[in-house]
């Protein structure tokens, strides 16, 4: 299952040196956007298909993030997806994959049985 590309700008949370309120505002925006899009599409019943693979593709004008920063950039997106699935993001039934590609800012989410 794929959802439409979300027009979110994600950044490496490890490299951001900012006021805590800016980070909180970004996390709330990302989580609420992902949750809203997944509502009605992703259900707790998807876990009956477990194990699942969730692929999050960060789309940005530059693909300059290394692997640990790519994972960091998807933190709040991953948290929202896990919440929509009704699991903790460390649940072994869900495999998390993070990719990146060049293009206008966005996130592509794909959830499938593995």
- Provide the CATH number for the domain around residue 102: 3.30.1330
In this structure, is residue 6 part of a structural domain? no
What CA–CA distance (Å, rounded) separates 63 from 82? 25
In this structure, is residue 79 part of a structural domain? yes
Give the global pTM.
0.76
How many domains is the chain built from?
A: 1
Assigned token pair, 40: 């009605």
What CA–CA distance (Å, rounded) separates 95 from 27? 22
Per-residue pLDDT of the chain (114 residues; tens, 9 = 90+): 667 677 777 777 766 667 777 777 777 877 878 877 777 676 655 666 678 999 999 999 987 888 888 898 889 899 999 988 888 999 999 999 999 999 998 899 998 888
In this structure, is residue 9 part of a structural domain? no
In terms of residue numbers, what domain contains 65?
Answer: 20-113
In this structure, is residue 93 part of a structural domain? yes
Residue ranges with strand state E in 72-105: 94-102
In this structure, is residue 55 part of a structural domain? yes
């Amino acid at each position: 299952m794929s959802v439409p590309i979300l027009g979110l700008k994600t950044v490496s949370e490890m490299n951001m040196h900012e006021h805590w309120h800016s980070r909180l505002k970004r996390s709330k925006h990302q989580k609420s956007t992902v949750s809203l899009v997944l509502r009605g599409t992703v259900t707790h019943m998807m876990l009956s298909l477990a194990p699942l693979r969730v692929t999050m593709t960060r789309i940005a004008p530059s693909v300059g993030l290394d692997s640990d920063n790519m994972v960091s950039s998807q933190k709040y997106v991953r948290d929202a997806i896990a919440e929509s699935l009704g699991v903790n993001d460390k649940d072994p039934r869900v495999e998390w994959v993070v990719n990146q590609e060049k293009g206008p800012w966005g996130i592509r989410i794909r959830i499938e049985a593995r």
